[in-house]
Amino acid sequence: MKRGSARLLAVAGLALAVAARAEWRFDAAVDVTPAASGAFHHLEASGRAALAVSGGRVAVVWEDSRTGRPTCYLGIRDGAGAFRELAYGHGECYAPAVAALPDGRFALIWEDETGVNAALAGPAGIGSVRNLSAQGGQGHLARHPRLGLHAAWSSPDGRWRRVFRARLEAGAEGGLRASEARPADPAPARDDQMYPVLAATDSALTLAWEDRRHGHTVIHASVSHDGQAWSPPLRVSRNPTGRINGDLGRGTGAMRPALAALGGDRLAAVWLDKRDFLSGYDVYAALSPDGGASFGPDLKVQDSFGDAIAQWHAAAAGNGRGALAVAWDDERDGTPDVWLSWLTPAGAFADNVAPPPASGPGAQTDPAIALDEAGNLHLAWVERVDERTSRVRYALGGKIP
């Protein structure tokens, strides 16, 4: 068979496989913020926590350079209305993250010229700012119904970056009070700890982060049942440590964790993993039945059509009914598109779906997702129209197929 004919057959096979995939309904995309030439938009929250849903209200946070310097923005949408936009941060601002609170309110965390900061936000705007650390970034937030609101971030500590955490409480006039910052691991750091992420199950709070104590990046986690005492770090990712694959380095990399609570004490950890180093990073996940005290085997999330190329920006979302969705972007169809998978009743991940609003011509990247309690998927992403023009977009999807 000629090479051209074989390629045509392969393409036809791929088209049939894509056509056979389950359909996932999505509404048309709307702009969170309009496209702007020369203004580069970023959804770079630790754990991909750039989108949250509370009481029918949607919040998206991002950073862009329309003013000539990086500035953080909050976009809030009520129902089917347009997004209202608020700027915040002191000087240059980076990597904002958002967490849902009850009654349509949200908590924000970000890095700016004053360090790591947090604030409450709602229909009336953004409340007074609480500084959590004079240095650092990569902040993340989660609220537990019994244990309250907690924050985590990464700050320089001597030679290394180290993950810290603190409990936050609402103070006077919509402000925040913060407990003393404590390290996630009380043992002295032996290498960098970065990109922390929190999640709340019924009985516990779980904190995960990217850790280099083994000489290469792995995912570690710690659990608290009272918000004060935390378990010793537990290794989550099982990417190999030691010289493998032709004596290449100290081990393969696992990076940028995300956590999603699935109801009860079920929890999912998702990350980017380079154990198949020839194809770049893959999306992996591990499930916990006990709030992060233990995790099952590593599971590959993307299907075989994505195995030969690199995946980026993995995000995870769950809800109290046990649903789990995972999003990322890759170039399997020739241009960067957002892709989705979900956990099936059999405990495997479904064949991947490219949501129509976030795929096709141009570059659709950097997804952030949330699942509401009805099971609908909320999706935000960056669309790059050309090398100088980008915008942040949002679409509401139906229930997992």
Report d(CA 240, CA 358) in Å as an integer: 34
* Residue 246, pLDDT score: 56
User: What DSSP string runs through 315-339?
Assistant: EEEE-TTS-EEEEEEE-TTSS-EEE
Report d(CA 169, CA 190) in Å as an integer: 32
Identity (one letter) of the amino acid at 290?
D
Nearest to 108 by CA among 204, 176, 31: 176
What is the DSSP code (8-state) at residue 374? Answer: T
* Residue 14, pLDDT score: 45
* Residue 386, pLDDT score: 86
- Residue 2 has which token pair? 């000629």
Q: Decide if 205 contacts 198 (C-beta within 8 A).
A: yes
* Residue 255, pLDDT score: 97
Q: What is the phi-psi region of residue 20: left when phi exceeds 0, alpha when psi lies from -120 to 50, beta otherwise?
A: alpha
Q: 363: how many CB neighbours lie within 10 A of its CB? A: 18
Q: Decide if 64 contacts 383 (C-beta within 8 A).
A: no
* Residue 338, pLDDT score: 98
* Residue 201, pLDDT score: 98
Contacts of 81 (CB under 8 A, 6+ apart): none
**Spacing of C-alpha 54 from chain mean position:** 17
Q: 385: how many CB neighbours lie within 10 A of its CB? A: 13
| Residue whose entry in the numeric block shows the structure tokens 């630790």 | 46
Phi, psi of 338 (to 5 degrees): -80, 140
* Residue 19, pLDDT score: 42
Nearest to 170 by CA among 143, 139, 197: 143
pLDDT of the chain, 401 residues: tens digit per residue: 444 443 333 344 444 444 445 689 999 999 999 998 888 999 999 999 999 999 899 999 999 999 999 999 999 999 889 999 999 999 999 999 999 999 899 999 999 999 999 999 998 899 999 999 999 999 999 999 999 999 999 999 999 999 999 999 987 667 899 999 999 999 999 999 999 999 999 999 999 999 999 999 999 999 999 999 999 999 999 998 876 655 557 788 999 999 999 999 999 999 999 998 788 999 999 999 999 999 999 999 999 999 999 999 999 999 999 999 999 999 999 999 999 999 999 999 999 999 999 999 999 999 999 999 999 999 999 999 888 899 999 999 999 98
Nearest to 218 by CA among 186, 250, 243: 250
| Residue whose entry in the numeric block shows the structure tokens 């992403």 | 381
Q: 129: how many CB neighbours lie within 10 A of its CB? A: 19
**Spacing of C-alpha 273 from chain mean position:** 15
Instruction: State how beta strands 324-330 and 312-318 pair.
Output: antiparallel
Q: Map residue 182 onto helix, strand or coil.
A: strand
* Residue 276, pLDDT score: 87
Name the burial class of residue 103, with classes exposed (0-12), middle (13-18) and buried (19+) by CB atoms within 10 angstroms of its CB: exposed
- Domains along the chain with CATH numbers: 39-314 (2.120.10.10)
b/e map of 139-176 (b: 16 or more CB within 10 Å)? bbbbbbeebbbbbbbbbebeebbbbbbbbbebeeebeb
* Residue 305, pLDDT score: 95
Q: Map residue 117 onto helix, strand or coil.
A: strand
Q: Decide if 332 contacts 271 (C-beta within 8 A).
A: no
Q: 304: how many CB neighbours lie within 10 A of its CB? A: 10
* Residue 9, pLDDT score: 37
* Residue 244, pLDDT score: 60
Residue 199: in which H helix or E strand, if any? strand 193-200
